[in-house]
């Protein structure tokens, strides 16, 4: 019973009623035991286990609540709008994490002047804004047109990253003949999926 009490104290949401303890002898060897071998007493606890629903409910409500504060006093923001904007911050944070990536080659630039550092940050932020806007447009139009673009695992998807799209467009070249006749080389069907989502200006570039 001591072992059961220790187990019960560790359970926050489970209780047991109608507890009954039974015992039986357990022998080390198989077969018929000897007359003087009484074996080892083994105890078994049985009962009716149930969940404390009130405690479960309180625990869920405690974990599902957090505070969001804002300086907007116009009363135009609803609770749902505040929650949506709060959760959308992760997209911005993901973008700035991309700027720190070695692929962005930021570490190859050494700037000592504060003015030049500010200028680089402005350019990087502008690039990130264009990157995010392009990715949003591609995903939005793929869904609107019910079109799919192959993912990195060569499976159809409607939410490709702009980085992956850029990588897929590597190897496309423009051939100029006598400065009058222009031809785009290595353009494939998967490239046309993206070009179709971006609209006429991109058709003109890649035509």
Residue closest to 150 by CA, chosen among 164, 136, 171, 140:
164
Q: What's the pTM value of the predicted model, to 2 decimals?
A: 0.53
Q: What angle do CA 167, 172, 173 make, to 5 degrees?
A: 140
Torsions phi, psi of 156, nearest 5?
A: -65, 135
* Among 49, 56, 65, 73, CA closest to 13: 56
Question: Would the CA dihedral through 161, 164, 165, 166 be positive or negative?
Answer: positive
**pLDDT for the residue numbered 142:** 92
Beta bridge partners of 16: 49
pLDDT for the residue numbered 148: 92
Rounded Cα gap, residues 12 and 154, in angstroms = 47
- pLDDT digits over 93-123, tens only? 776 676 666 665 555 667 778 888 788 888 8
| Confidence at residue 138, expressed as pLDDT on a 0 to 100 scale | 92
Residues of the chain with pLDDT under 70: 38, 64-65, 91-92, 95-96, 98-109
Helix axes 79-87, 89-99, angle to 10 degrees: 20
Q: What is the pLDDT of residue 111?
A: 73
Q: What is the pLDDT of residue 99?
A: 65
């Amino acid at each position: 019973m001591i072992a059961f009490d220790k187990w019960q104290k560790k359970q926050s949401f489970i209780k047991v009623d109608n507890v009954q303890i039974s015992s039986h002898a357990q022998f080390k060897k198989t077969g018929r035991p000897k007359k003087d071998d009484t074996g080892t007493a083994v105890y078994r606890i049985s009962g009716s286990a149930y969940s404390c629903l009130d405690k479960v409910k309180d625990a869920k409500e405690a974990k599902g609540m957090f505070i969001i504060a804002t300086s907007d006093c116009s009363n135009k923001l609803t609770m749902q709008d505040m929650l949506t904007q709060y959760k959308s911050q992760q997209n911005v944070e993901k973008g700035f994490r991309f700027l720190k990536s070695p692929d962005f080659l930021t570490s190859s630039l050494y700037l000592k002047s504060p003015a030049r550092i500010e200028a680089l940050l402005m350019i990087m932020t502008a690039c990130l804004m264009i990157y995010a806007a392009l990715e949003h447009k591609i995903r939005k139009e793929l869904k609107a047109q019910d079109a799919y673009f192959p993912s990195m695992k060569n499976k159809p998807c409607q939410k490709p990253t702009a980085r992956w799209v850029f990588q897929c467009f590597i190897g496309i070249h423009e051939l100029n003949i006598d400065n009058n006749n222009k031809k785009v080389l290595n353009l494939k069907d998967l490239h046309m999926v993206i070009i179709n989502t971006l609209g006429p200006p991109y058709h003109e570039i890649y035509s």
